[in-house]
Amino acid sequence: MQNYSLLSIAKHALSGHRHWQPAWRNPEPKPHYDVVIVGGGGHGLATAYYLAKNHGITNVAVLEKGWLGGGNTGRNTTVVRSNYFYPESTRFFDHSLKLYEGLSRELNYNLMLSQGGVTNLAHSRHDMEMFERWSNALQLQGVDAEMLTTEQIQDRFPLLDTSPEARYPVWGGFIQHRGGVVRHDAVAWGYARAASALGVDIIQNCEVTDIVQSADRIQGVQTSRGQIRTDKLALCVAGHSTVLAAKVGLPLPISSQPLQAMVSEPVKPVLNGMVISPIVHAYVSQSDRGEILLGGGADRYPSYGQRGNYPLIEETVAAMLGLFPSFSRLKLMRQWAGIVDITPDTSPIMGLTPITGLYLSGGWGTGGFKAIPAGGDTMAYTIANNRPHELIEPFGLERFVTGALVDEGAASGVAH
């Protein structure tokens, strides 16, 4: 793999940057792989990378129907944090955040991790009580969380309306200082480049159209570029999880819904980190380019249209203006949506399935970007050893039969 460094930039500058190697190879699909991963988003690519790096399994293909990161991985609002509520979730998401903290160096790819803090706003005494319980739970699990007063929040976000007449009065809140943002495309590209260098075949424009199985055992996949044989198949297809699982008659408790985001025209720095109001249903950050990035809740009906509906845009903008009235003078520049895979308890579904050789990494819903490193690491372990990694045992499909749900609605809801 070509090393990226200041020296290599300087060297390539001498030849007008015309001789950089492509970041990853572009191979033709082979007839057989030890592991086939469907979906070239963050989870598929990270799983492939850790299979090769941690388990020495390199005869692996990642099949992507479009382009790398063209799904939710390249459409999200880039928030990373580990302030979930239940120990199962916090352990998993903190493992992910720790991996993110060293990932630029490991992949030799600048992921632009910026840990400017993630602040949750409380708008009533009851919110404050909940936040105290939440941040205490986090501290007990060794995750950083600090309660903030209204004055401390005002210092961080001078444009936030904290006056007594505010539409949404701010009673205080809590912050995870290690939370922040990561450049989303870079996560896909960084993993793709490193996986490809280890021997993984990354095949774009290759849609999986059917799954071949016999006697409840995976045999391979039918794709738009021919049949590929494998006895280990991992589905990492987010909003299309139910579509592909239906090919082998496996029903999943997942609903596919659009989730929107939007950005304003760029302005000078006005926000100190990311701020979220789970109650008002909006969150805001500022990109390095100065755009105000705005997100809210998911559209309320299932759809595969990556557009989103107008009422939700209005609802999200109105919520944001209730918090930051002066943003009413900004122009919205772009809006988009991705199709997120929401489970009843808003926790992921990861691990083995009742079909031998079929593995699932889905149900990431509105918050799976922050989970990409841990998702890849633990899925690779699960595929290599054919048993779930201990961190993902609570997130198996069987919890919908046993009833052992991990209900993270409050922590994973709008606070992506």
Site residues for ligand FAD per CB under 6 A: 38-44, 63-66, 70-73, 75-79, 207-208, 236-238, 240, 244, 259-261, 295, 338, 340, 364, 366-370, 416
161 vs 406 by CB, closer to ligand FAD: 406
Cβ atoms of 234 and 361 within 8 Å: the answer is yes
Q: How far is the CB of 287 from ligand FAD (least distance, A)?
A: 12
Shortest Cβ contact with ligand FAD: which residue? 41
65 vs 399 by CB, closer to ligand FAD: 65
Q: How far is the CB of 248 from ligand FAD (least distance, A)?
A: 13
105 vs 334 by CB, closer to ligand FAD: 334
Give 195-257 as a DSSP string: HHHTT-EEE-S--EEEEEEETTEEEEEEETTEEEE-S-EEE--GGGHHHHHGGGT---S-EEE
135 vs 257 by CB, closer to ligand FAD: 257
Q: How far is the CB of 3 from ligand FAD (least distance, A)?
A: 27
Cβ atoms of 294 and 263 within 8 Å: the answer is yes
260 vs 264 by CB, closer to ligand FAD: 260
Measure the CA dihedral 239/201/53/390, to 10°. Answer: 30
Q: Give the count of beta carbons closer than 10 Å to the beta carbon of residue 327.
A: 17
Q: How far is the CB of 163 from ligand FAD (least distance, A)?
A: 29
Q: Which amino acid is at 257?
A: Q
Q: Which helix (H) or strand (E) holds 90?
A: helix 87-107
Q: How far is the CB of 371 from ligand FAD (least distance, A)?
A: 6
Tokens representing 106 are: 């490991």
Using left for φ > 0, alpha for ψ between -120 and 50, and beta otherwise, residue 281 falls in left
As a whole number of Å, the end-to-end CA separation of the chain is: 33
Q: How far is the CB of 262 from ligand FAD (least distance, A)?
A: 9
Cβ atoms of 39 and 238 within 8 Å: the answer is yes
145 vs 293 by CB, closer to ligand FAD: 293
Cβ atoms of 201 and 37 within 8 Å: the answer is no
Which of 324, 392, 368 has its CA nearest to residue 88? 392
135 vs 260 by CB, closer to ligand FAD: 260
Q: How far is the CB of 207 from ligand FAD (least distance, A)?
A: 4
What's the Cα-to-Cα distance from 43 to each of 163, 253, 328, 338, rounded to whole Å? 43, 19, 37, 15
Q: How far is the CB of 125 from ligand FAD (least distance, A)?
A: 29
Q: How far is the CB of 375 from ligand FAD (least distance, A)?
A: 7
78 vs 135 by CB, closer to ligand FAD: 78
Q: How far is the CB of 25 from ligand FAD (least distance, A)?
A: 18
Long-range contacts of 245-252 (CB under 8 A, 24+ apart): 245/353, 245/360, 247/210, 247/211, 248/211, 248/213, 248/355, 248/358, 250/353, 250/354, 250/355, 250/358, 252/349, 252/360, 252/362, 252/363, 252/397
